[in-house]
Structure 1
Amino acid sequence: MKKGNKWGKLYLAVVFIVLYAPIFYLMFYSFNAGGKMSHFSGFTLDYYKEVFQDTRLLIIVLNTFVVALLSSVIATIFGVLGALAIRYMPRPFTKNSLLSLNNVLIVSPDVVIGASFLIFFTILGVKLGFISVLVSHIAFSIPIVVLMVLPKLQEMSPTLIDAARDLGASQWNVLSKVILPYIAPGVFAGFFMALTYSLDDFAVTFFVTGNGFTTLSVEIYSRARQGISLSINALSTLLFLFTIVLVIGYYFINKRNAKGTQGLEVPPK
């Protein structure tokens, strides 16, 4: 067992090195005064200043966060409703069918989803821009929220709902004071996952964005094609640090909500 644990830890270390080494390489050379991705010649913050002085880029950052926040909030609302519908669906066949359709959207290639949305918006005559990007992000975020919320619903004891109804609680009170507080960690997990996916998405956004509106992922791709610029490194570093802050924030929120839901457990008779 000890030998197996040793090889397992070594494997995990190699995986993390492979995943994070390129990111830290990019971050390190974002401070290179030489302007190249090799031969570090001095420390500078000029590329970060360049990012904050680029008005067009700041507008794109604002566009990205507006789309991410709006799509995450709306997707969380619909995702919670979808998870509730799947969990309490009386017919097993219908329940399994809805869950399978939800999972298909998770595993479908982004290129297929993006192309489908492009054809859909073209048929409807919708102008590509803010609305098309927002609708697309909501659509691919809803299945993520469903998968985050559904396990919390499945582990919730039915006796909680029965006890609330025995005490005279209405359907709304059961939902707002029993179910939602219990599944709050899953709701927050779904929201943050949707937010992260929206911020990072490139493939779907690339298909549905139009002239005059773009997001950071598409902008970074466009700039990278024009040649190496360490302002891209600086921008990517800021995005990575922001993602770390989101993960840390989710951890503490989830930890606090987990403590709060412990009091909702019904003790065994």
Structure 2
Amino acid sequence: MENKSSSFANIFLVLIFFILYAPIFYLIFYSFNSGGTMSGFEGFTFDWYRELFQDTRLLIIVLNTLVIALLSALIATIIGVFGAISIRSYKKRRTRNSLLSLNNVLIVSPDVIIGASFLILFTLAGIQLGFYSVLLSHIAFSIPIVVLMVLPKLLEMSSSLEDAARDLGASNWNVLTKVTLPYISPGIFAGFFMALTYSLDDFAVTFFVTGNGFSTLSVEIYSLARRGISLNINALSTIMFIVTILLVIVYYYLTQRSGTKGVGLRR
């Protein structure tokens, strides 16, 4: 009976993954179609990728996307690490859980609501929509992700490590840089890469706060798709998908490394 249940679960899991990934692989497959349509594959070609890399405007948009992603991930990681340390510093579990719940609300909130809220905020504050509005919004929605990645490592760390360092004469800064940050470094890197991935993939929030000729890849793909079918979209989406997969692999590698270190320390 258990074997039948397990087989059914495996078949169901394969079916779900097929439904999720089939459209993506269909898009990738036709990015190499020499026919220029998605109705019939006529031959294999890299022409759409060559055309993509010859588009100067698109290369500028790629550069904008990477700069926004790297800057927002870096700043959000710094703020998120200190935010996680602040949450851990509260001794009362109820206070700590309340702060963590407020942090998690921002993660589960619909992107449309967050994007509209940022648009209203920037309009009221007189901030011109463009590079800085996109950067600030990406930093804001990335911070809770970093906190969620870093806080478990902080809670896992025994306070006796920091107490021992202070007893040996270490200052608070030395305790932070020599003890705390090295211990939670896997969580910090995981938070950075997750924030980087979210920033690269974000569309809804960016769509609300972009303007003045500034654009990112996700918004540009949406604009291209509205004009009609072009295999440039397939090529661009394929590259974004591969980059995202690579970032996720790095994230899981860091997570596994973190778990392995944790087991070693507990022994």
Shift in Å, 1:39 = 1.2
Shift in Å, 1:211 = 2.1
SS of the residue corresponding to residue 36 of structure 1 reads coil
1:214/1:164 CA distance change after superposition, 3 Å: same
How many residues end up aligned between the 2 structures?
Answer: 266
1:165-218 Cα distance to aligned partner (Å, 9 max, x none): 333322222211221111111111111110010000000000000021010000
Q: Which residue of 1 aligns with 2:47?
A: 46
- Separation (CA, whole Å) in 2 of partners of 1:114 and 1:247: 24
- Separation (CA, whole Å) in 2 of partners of 1:100 and 1:259: 28
Q: How does 1:218-233 map to 2 (within 5 A)?
A: 218-233=219-234
Q: Which residue of 2 aligns with 1:137?
A: 138
Q: Which moved more, 1:145-154 or 1:219-228?
A: 145-154
Shift in Å, 1:242 = 1.2
Q: Which residue of 2 aligns with 1:177?
A: 178
SS of the residue corresponding to residue 37 of structure 2 reads coil
Determine if contact 2:134/2:206 at 8 Å carries over to the other structure: yes
**Corresponding letter in the other structure for 1:248:** I
- Separation (CA, whole Å) in 2 of partners of 1:258 and 1:94: 27
**Which runs of no fewer than 5 residues in structure 2 stay unpaired?**
none
1:59-112 Cα distance to aligned partner (Å, 9 max, x none): 000000000000000000001111111111134443233212111111111111
1:101-126 Cα distance to aligned partner (Å, 9 max, x none): 11111111111110111011101111
* Aligned: 1:64 with 2:62: no
- Separation (CA, whole Å) in 1 of partners of 2:263 and 2:245: 27
Q: Which residue of 2 aligns with 1:128?
A: 129
Shift in Å, 1:227 = 0.2
Instruction: Report % sequence identity.
Output: 70
1:9-50 Cα distance to aligned partner (Å, 9 max, x none): 222211211111111000000001111112111111111011
Q: Which residue of 2 aligns with 1:13?
A: 14
**Which runs of no fewer than 5 residues in structure 1 stay unpaired?**
none
How does the TM-score come out when normalised to structure 2? Answer: 0.93
1:257/1:148 CA distance change after superposition, 3 Å: closer
* Aligned: 1:111 with 2:112: yes
**Corresponding letter in the other structure for 1:209:** T
- Separation (CA, whole Å) in 2 of partners of 1:250 and 1:111: 26
Q: Which residue of 2 aligns with 1:147?
A: 148
**Corresponding letter in the other structure for 2:123:** T
1:169/1:221 CA distance change after superposition, 3 Å: same
Q: Which residue of 1 aligns with 2:102?
A: 101
Q: How does 1:196-215 map to 2 (within 5 A)?
A: 196-215=197-216
Shift in Å, 1:254 = 4.6
Determine if contact 2:81/2:147 at 8 Å carries over to the other structure: yes
